[in-house]
Amino acid sequence: MPLVARLFDGSTVQARPLPGGIGQASALKLSYSSYQKASRVLAAVAYALASDHGVEAELLNIADRRTTSYLAETAYFPKVAARSWRWGPEMKEAAHALEEAGLPSDLADAAAAVMERWAGLKDTSPDLALVLERLHPGPSGKPA
């Protein structure tokens, strides 16, 4: 056990040493916090829109049927990418509905922008590596 991890022996903190060099813990923290915090903010905005239209109970009913985290469902990312040609415009519609309700639309717009990077994967069966690769810009600065 690394020396730093031993500092937490006997406490409620569970130190988890990571392989690799300096920066691994920060990368993990930022990766998880970007998902956790953005998803909670998006959930609050979605709930506000549902509440404005009187369908918040139905939204919660749908959400209550979920048993896992979307973050843990990495095998589903390629399916999302292959459907992004259809889902991207839906996110733009959601952004428009949020704007009309006076709610922030930035997260919906950002989701649509991500889906635009996957546009060329329409009706394919891409693997996870390709889906993630398409999120990075190519040498031209444009999505790969």
**For the chain, what is the radius of gyration of the CA atoms?**
19
**Of 52, 71, 90, at which residue does a domain stop?**
71
Element (H, E) at 108: helix 106-117
Is residue 6 one of the residues assigned to a domain? no
State residue 128's pLDDT score: 95
pLDDT tens string 9-53: 999 988 888 888 888 888 998 888 888 888 988 998 999 999 999
pLDDT tens string 97-126: 999 999 999 999 999 999 999 999 998 999
63's tokens: 């959400």
Residue pair 47/56 in contact (Cβ under 8 Å)? The answer is yes
Q: Which residue in 79, 76, 70, 91 sits closest to 121, CA to CA? A: 79
Q: Which residue in 86, 104, 84, 85 sits closest to 95, CA to CA? A: 104
- Asked whether residue 61 falls in the same domain as residue 77, the answer is no
- Asked whether residue 143 falls in the same domain as residue 105, the answer is yes
- HSE, CB side, 13 Å, CA atoms: give it for residue 72: 4
The parent domain of residue 60 ranges over: 21-71
When mean pLDDT is compared across 12-26, 49-63, 74-88, the lowest value belongs to 12-26
- Asked whether residue 141 falls in the same domain as residue 107, the answer is yes
- Asked whether residue 128 falls in the same domain as residue 78, the answer is yes
Alpha-carbon distance of 128 to 102, in angstroms, equals 36
- Asked whether residue 78 falls in the same domain as residue 134, the answer is yes
- Asked whether residue 79 falls in the same domain as residue 133, the answer is yes
Alpha-carbon distance of 24 to 27, in angstroms, equals 5
Q: In the chain, how many domains are there?
A: 2
**Of 13, 48, 71, at which residue does a domain stop?**
71
- Asked whether residue 79 falls in the same domain as residue 139, the answer is yes
State residue 38's pLDDT score: 86
Q: Which residues pair with 137 in a beta bridge?
A: 143
Which residues neighbour 92 within 8 Å (Cβ) at sequence distance 6 or greater? 108, 109, 112
